[in-house]
């Protein structure tokens, strides 16, 4: 393994309440499920967990409520050996919560997320972690927290010359110029369509969407395409990197696993194709398990799949 890198994640912690059933209910219908799970989630926290398990040091900056659900955050970070120094609390609103339906036949999911305390994360709270940012290899953000927190993270990352990765999810209006100077912008097909105006159904569509996204100021675009893999473009080099054929059980945290794996790979200095393969493997393993944060794979698992599927040694 390469040197141990460090990634700062500014993002959400959300408690996932997940129900599993053989199919999704229709409007007004009740379907009997097989199980329900309550556990740690949120795009930011899932990605931070993936980073930690992939072998990097991670600093998570987030905000939770003062309710009973906040205990799940502390228990999770303690169990993972992750720092809780920048886990802020508020009495104003509850801890973020997501209601997730998982189709056990296909592994697909539907999610309603309530951001809760995540929306109250302030620029000042992010700025308190400036020394962590100054000493890291990369920063990673999503759009499940406050705009001001993400803007401040990027300001500090640029000040200290750090790699910036933005997963623009869930899609929503963003502050003008947010994508400018982002080193890696990583939407999925739906998010790419929202920001580019181009429906992404084929590799050719992904290429056209990437061109539009590059015009918004990002330096490199990686559009995740589910079972097809991921499409990369920097305007000159363009490639589709296929993913593995592992059977999915629960796809809920796949994008988060991909982004966490990508942040580690880029921080370790992998070339872009290998970095995407590493991220693909991270995501592929995660979907073979139920849950989000608990489903994130460990480094030895990623390296083993990287070797067996792509023929690459760690």
Active site members: 256
Distance, in Å, from the CA atom of 307 to the CA atom of 302, rounded to the nearest integer, reads 9
Pick from 105, 101, 97, 140: which is nearest to 255 by CA? 140
Distance CA 198, CA 310 (A): 31
Closest CA to 191 of 162, 215, 170: 170
CA dihedral sign of residues 263, 265, 266, 271? negative
Burial class from Cβ neighbours inside 10 Å (0-12, 13-18, 19+) for residue 288 reads middle
Query: 50 in the Ramachandran plot: left (φ > 0), alpha (ψ -120 to 50) or beta?
Result: alpha
- Which residue has 């700062």 as its token pair? 8
């Amino acid at each position: 393994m390469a040197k141990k890198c460090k990634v700062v994640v500014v993002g959400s912690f959300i408690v996932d309440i997940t129900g599993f059933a053989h199919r999704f209910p229709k409007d007004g219908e009740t379907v009997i499920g097989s199980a329900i799970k309550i556990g740690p989630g949120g795009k930011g926290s899932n990605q931070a967990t993936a980073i930690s398990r992939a072998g990097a040091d991670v600093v998570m900056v987030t905000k939770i409520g003062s309710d009973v659900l906040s205990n799940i955050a502390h228990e999770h970070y303690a169990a993972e050996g992750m720092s809780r120094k920048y886990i802020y609390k508020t009495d104003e609103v509850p801890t973020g919560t997501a209601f997730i339906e998982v189709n056990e036949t296909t592994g697909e999911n539907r999610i309603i997320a309530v951001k809760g305390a995540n929306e109250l994360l302030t620029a000042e709270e992010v700025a308190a972690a400036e020394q962590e940012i100054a000493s890291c290899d990369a920063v990673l953000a999503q759009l499940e927290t406050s705009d001001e927190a993400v803007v401040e993270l990027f300001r500090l990352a640029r000040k200290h010359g750090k790699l910036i990765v933005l997963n623009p999810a869930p899609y929503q209006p963003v502050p003008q110029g947010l994508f400018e100077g982002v080193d890696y912008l990583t939407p999925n097909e739906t998010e790419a369509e929202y920001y580019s105006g181009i429906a992404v159904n084929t590799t050719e569509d992904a290429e056209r969407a990437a061109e539009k996204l590059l015009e918004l100021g990002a330096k490199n675009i990686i559009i995740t395409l589910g079972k097809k893999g991921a499409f990369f473009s920097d305007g000159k080099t363009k490639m589709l990197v296929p993913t593995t054929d592992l059977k999915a059980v629960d796809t809920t945290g796949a994008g988060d696993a991909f982004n966490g794996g990508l942040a580690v790979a880029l921080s370790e200095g992998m070339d872009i194709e290998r970095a995407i393969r590493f991220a693909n493997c991270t995501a592929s393993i995660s979907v073979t398990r139920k849950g989000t944060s608990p489903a994130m794979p460990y480094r030895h698992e990623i390296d083993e799949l990287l070797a067996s599927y792509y023929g690459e040694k760690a």
